[in-house]
Amino acid sequence: MTRSLLVLLAAFVAVFAGAGGVMAQELETVGAPTDWQWDFQGPNSPIMEDIHDFYDVYLLPMMVIISVIVLALMAYIMIRFRRSRNPEPTRTTHNTILEVIWTSVPVLILVIIAIPSLRLLYDTERLDEADVTIKATGNQWFWSYEYPDYGLEFDAYILEDEEPRLLVTDTQVVVPVNQVIRVQLTSADVIHAWALPAAGVKMDAVPGRLNELQMTITDPGIYYGQCSELCGYSHGFMPIMVVAMEEADFEAWVSEQQAALGIVPETDLAAATQD
Residues at the interface with Cu ion (CB under 5 A): 192, 227, 231
Between 141 and 150, CB nearer to Cu ion: 141
Burial class (CB in 10 A: 0-12, 13-18, 19+), 189: middle
Question: Rounded to the nearest whole angstrom, what is the least distance from the CB of residue 227 to Cu ion in the complex?
Answer: 3
Which amino acid is residue 248, in one-letter code? A
> What DSSP designation does 227 have?
B
Between 240 and 254, CB nearer to Cu ion: 240
Question: Rounded to the nearest whole angstrom, what is the least distance from the CB of residue 189 to Cu ion in the complex?
Answer: 9
CA distances from 55 to 50, 216, 233 (A): 9, 20, 34
Question: Rounded to the nearest whole angstrom, what is the least distance from the CB of residue 231 to Cu ion in the complex?
Answer: 3
Which residues does residue 172 pair with via DSSP β-bridges, in sequence order?
none
Question: Rounded to the nearest whole angstrom, what is the least distance from the CB of residue 182 to Cu ion in the complex?
Answer: 21
Return all residues near 259 (Cβ < 8 A) that are at least 6 apart.
none
Between 30 and 195, CB nearer to Cu ion: 195
74 phi and psi, to 5 degrees? -65, -40
Between 51 and 227, CB nearer to Cu ion: 227
